[in-house]
Amino acid sequence: MGMGIFDRHLRTLYLAGYLMKRLVQQLAKGPHRKIEIMDQMEIIGIGSLPIITIATGFTGLVMTSEIAWHMDFALSNVSMIPGFTGQFVVRELGIAVPALLMVSKVGASLTAELASMRITEQLDAFKLLKIDVISYHIFPRWAACTVATVCLTLISIAITIIIAMLTAVTKYHFNSQEYFNTLAQFINSWDLVCAVTKSAIFGTVIPPIACAYAMKCEGGAQGVGQATTDAVVTCTLAVITLDFILTAIFSAVL
């Protein structure tokens, strides 16, 4: 049974790899389905903005308080708050948190939608109508998810840093100018390039994995639920694993 489950996941990941190949090919050759991508940008990007704003705002608040408390406790000095929070946000938290939120919001929704289409035979109808589900349905969502993840990551970084700055100003008596001056010494444009690259890769891998689980979905509502759970778990693991690998690569390059 264990081997059966392992084999099923392996086959699904193989399908995810095939989907990724087809999506990249379509990106190179077209059709680019700009109108559908714009529609999906609105659904995925604008639709995810409130949750990203709230979640990263609170993350900034908690992170600054925690870092400050530990600095104060261990060093009796909080002057490094801007540098520590800035690096932590731009290199890690501001990228991983939006990516994981995209997994739970967008990845789950992509799997549930496509899996429902599969069990209600819409995908068979696609075949009969000569509609390529990858080109027609998945590609616009993939492109929109990639762009939206990058944009949301940048927004998330900005929000987290602003909240961190406000916390530092109100609780630890920094002034904002001083905060940003110290921050600028610790982060540079290369950090932002790494953040954009990481978020683009996260945004790129979520839809193929989510859609592969949907396309392998079997049974009724229970099958859709199982596919969605599997997709969210696998996408989360993929994001965390890739985060580790990319961080190691960027650290080596730096």
Partner 1 sequence: MSIRFESVSKSFGTKKILDDVSFEVTRGEVLFILGKSGMGKSVTLKHIIGVFAPDAGKVFVDQYEVSAMTSGARMDDLTLVRQRCGMVFQHPALLDSLTNFENIAFGLRSKQYSQKIGRKLSEEEIRDVVLEKLSLVYLEPEILQLYPHEVSYGVQKRVSMARTLAPGPEYLLFDEPTTGLDPLSTSSINALISELSRKLKVTSIIVSHDMACALSIADQIMFLDQGKILLMAPPKEVISSAIPLVQDFFKETMELLPPDWSLEK
Interface with partner 1 by CB under 8 A: which residues? 117, 120-122, 124-125, 127-131
Q: Cα angle at 216 between 142 and 236, to 5 degrees?
A: 55
17 token code pair: 């790899």
Which residue's CB is nearer to partner 1, number 188 or number 222?
Answer: 222
Shortest distance in whole angstroms from residue 229 CB to partner 1:
22
- Cβ partners under 8 Å of residue 147, min gap 6: 37, 41, 45, 203
- Cβ partners under 8 Å of residue 160, min gap 6: 56, 57, 59, 60, 63, 89, 93, 94
Which residue's CB is nearer to partner 1, number 39 or number 178?
Answer: 39
Which residue's CB is nearer to partner 1, number 66 or number 121?
Answer: 121
Which residue's CB is nearer to partner 1, number 40 or number 149?
Answer: 40
CA 204 to chain CA mean position, Å = 9
Query: Residue 120 phi/psi, 5° resolution?
Result: -95, 20
Q: How many residues does the chain have?
A: 254
Which residue's CB is nearer to partner 1, number 43 or number 166?
Answer: 43
Shortest distance in whole angstroms from residue 5 CB to partner 1:
14
Shortest distance in whole angstroms from residue 137 CB to partner 1:
9
Helix (H) or strand (E) holding 254: none
Shortest distance in whole angstroms from residue 101 CB to partner 1:
25
Shortest distance in whole angstroms from residue 113 CB to partner 1:
9
